[in-house]
Amino acid sequence: MLKLPKIIGHRGVAAYAPENTIEGIHTAADMGIEWVELDVKLSKDQIPILFHDEALDRTTNGSGPVAQKTLEELRELECGSWFADSFAGIKIPTLEEALEVLLERRLGLNLEIKPCPGRERETAEVALDLLSQIWDDHDRLLVSSFSLISLQTAQELAQDWQRGLLIGEHWPENWQELIDFIEPSTINVNAGTVTREEVEAVIDQGLHVLAYTVNDPDEARRLLRWGIDGVFSDAPDVVREGLFSVH
């Protein structure tokens, strides 16, 4: 049984620390957040790393596609100063490093498989192989993706791990077929575009619904009222305080 919290830190805790970093994981844990969502990609030499974008430009002092850099080349970059001077010099972490910190800090994980184009299957294979060696708490792990190929790979290789199907701004007409095909435990929906009817239709299928990315307590309250199980937030403390403070 998945033990999903009401609030999951998005990309670690993206309002307070650079996304997809060890520092972000520690910051989330220090705030009392129970789970974080992190993105995994592959380096050129097939090492799973935490990274969101296809290009290095936004969050590092490098440029160009992540997929064309070896881990050694990626390690030469820093990924903190774009966020704040106090984080200058920090490095892109490997998935293995992140998993060790998550276990040490006792955090649950939603690992989003975020493959570079054409690497949908291999990214899932490599990440899941590593997960299987390190992680054994099935109640505190959700493997999600927008990529059907990545989710199908997860279904084949790690049938007993819970899967999350990510849905973007446009609700797919064939969503029922996708559910039958992928057999997910959760549908992770876009908070800004999903409708109450869509949420209720998924709940009627007996699935959990999570919504991204929610930084406003009023929006979180509305979604929870619809029956959504939890939200991904860059500022989980703000949402938590807004939801659970006594007025």
Q: What are phi and psi of 90, to 5 degrees?
A: -75, 160
Per-residue b or e along 159-177, where b marks 16 or more CB atoms closer than 10 Å to that residue's CB: eebbbbbbbeeeeeeebee
Residue 37 · residue 11 · CB < 8 Å: yes
Cis before residue 60, ω within 30 degrees of 0?
Answer: no
Q: Which tokens sit at 27?
A: 């910051």
Catalytic residues: 10, 52
Q: Which tokens sit at 164?
A: 């999350």
Q: Where are the beta strands (DSSP E) in 88-134?
A: 108-113
For residue 191, how many C-alpha atoms fall within 13 Å in the half-sphere facing its CB? 22
Residue 225: exposure state from Cβ atoms within 10 A (0-12, 13-18, ≥19)? exposed
Nearest to 29 by CA among 15, 9, 10: 9
